[in-house]
Amino acid sequence: MAEVKRVERPLSPHLQIYRPQMTSVSSILTRITGNALIVGVILAVWWLLAAATSPAYFRVADAVATSWFGDLVFTGSLWAIWYHYLAGLRHLYFDAGKGLDIKTAEMLGWGCIIGSVVLTAITIILV
Amino acid sequence: MRYLTDRKRAEGKGAAHSGTEQHWYMTASAVALAFLVPTFLIIFGRALGQPLEGVVATFSRPFPAILTALVVVVGMRHFAKGATMMIEDYARGTARKGLVIFVHSLSYAVIACALYALAKLTMIGFVFELMPH
């Protein structure tokens, strides 16, 4: 019967000593943008709820939503949506087993970053 | 010697200790959101900053109301399951359970608030239309 032996295996390099790469950074950014979007969603739904409650409450929520703080949250959320959008499409492409060679994957990462900034600017101009 | 299939050996070893349903849900809802979100951004962006009458007029129309409801419901379920994936990567034991329950509760609370607001805005818009101008 085969003896089960513990083999001394090398540890994989930890994040702290790993050189940041486009593929890892763009993947981490997907997680950060996706989860951070809850802030913008809560502000938006609160604003909508205030509009449905009373004119006085709407004035309060609208003052917050259109203040420098609201502008910061919504502009940041807009970029986060577009980044998460493009990175999500990239994930669907990866899931199909395509674009996984290093050169293409790195190019797609740059595409997400540059594309998200461009789309954010276009949305702000359009809206 | 244990005779195990590769599948039996792999089952339950992932961070979630379950199958791929969650991943498939994320894929399907991502495609749905890809269609919904761009139009929603324009509708919401144009409504934001308007006086109350403009906001009521926007969200009491069928298309913006239904689109917003879809974005919030699909988006918040996508968020709850996505945040669960993150929690499963970083938290263990009771903290993990508590955080997963929290994000699911938060996601349902946001859905309930948004649907209530949309329903009421629709009714306000309807009453406003019935009034003699």
Q: Tell me how many domains chain A contains.
A: 1
Say what the pLDDT of residue A8 is: 79
- Asked if residue A5 belongs to a domain, the reply is no
- Asked if residue A3 belongs to a domain, the reply is no
Q: What percent of chain B has pLDDT over 90?
A: 75
Whether this model's pTM surpasses 0.90? no
Q: How far apart are CA A114 and CA A109, in angstroms?
A: 9
Q: Return per-residue pLDDT of chain A as tens, 127 residues.
A: 456 667 777 777 776 777 888 988 999 999 999 999 999 999 999 999 999 999 999 999 999 999 999 999 999 999 999 999 999 999 999 999 999 999 999 999 999 999 999 999 999 999 8
Segment A101-113, tens digit of pLDDT: 999 999 999 999 9
* B1 interfacial to chain A (CB closer than 8 Å): yes
* A56 interfacial to chain B (CB closer than 8 Å): no
- The mean per-residue pLDDT over the stretch B10-23 comes to 78
* CA distance to partner chain B, nearest, from residue A34 (Å): 7
Say what the pLDDT of residue B112 is: 98
CATH code at A68? Answer: 1.20.1300.10
User: Which residue range is the domain that position B121 belongs to?
Assistant: 20-130
- Asked if residue B64 belongs to a domain, the reply is yes
Q: How far apart are CA B50 and CA A93, in angstroms?
A: 39
| Nearest residue in chain B measured CA to CA from A95 | B27
With CB atoms and an 8 Å threshold, state whether B56 touches A51: yes
Q: Is the ipTM of this complex over 0.85?
A: yes
Which run of H or E residues covers position A49? helix A22-53
- Asked if residue A7 belongs to a domain, the reply is no
